Amino acid sequence: METIKIQGTEDTPRIILDADKELLEISGRSLPEDVAAFYEPVLNWLNEYSENPNQKTVFNFKLTYFNTASSKLLLDILMKLEELHEKGNDVLIRWHYPEDDEDMEEAGEEYADIVDVPFEQVAYSN
């Protein structure tokens, strides 16, 4: 399956979607000019991946900032992972947040409330 690697910029996150290396990660800042267009390849990739997923899927979110428009697209990604979990696959979301960022921690808790999928919160020091 094709690998997606997008370098991060000051307003878009770094994205790695590599099924072979079992590396699925979105990190950095997210306030793209056109959120829907930016995340479209990610959602398409997940659709394709879901047809033939790895035995275990661990998706890492390590964002330092995202705007409200991005929050909606992040939920779309989480809902794709929820679907995958509902189909009986082993799925884990790891939500990484800077240890001193309560808002980012809370954002993770909120997503965990909305989607029904194993969800792990991981604090890290800057």
Partner 1 sequence: MDNKKDVKGFLEFVYEFYKSMKAHEITLVYEGEITHQITKAFTSLTESNMEKDDEAGTVQRKVFHVMVECLQNISKHADDFTSNDYLFSGRGIFLVSKNEDEYSVTTGNAVENDRIEELTEMLEKINKMDKEELKQLYKKQMKEGRLSEKGGAGLGFIDIKRKTGKELEYHFLPISDDTSFFLLTSTISRTEI
Residues of this chain that bind partner 1 (CB under 8 A): 10-11, 31, 33-36, 65, 67-69, 71-73, 75, 100-103, 110, 113-114
* 7 versus 68: smaller Cβ distance to partner 1: 68
* 11 versus 18: smaller Cβ distance to partner 1: 11
What's the min distance (Å) between Cβ of 39 and partner 1?
10
* 55 versus 68: smaller Cβ distance to partner 1: 68
What's the min distance (Å) between Cβ of 84 and partner 1?
18
* 36 versus 123: smaller Cβ distance to partner 1: 36
Contact call for residues 62 and 101 (beta carbons, < 8 A): no
What's the min distance (Å) between Cβ of 96 and partner 1?
16
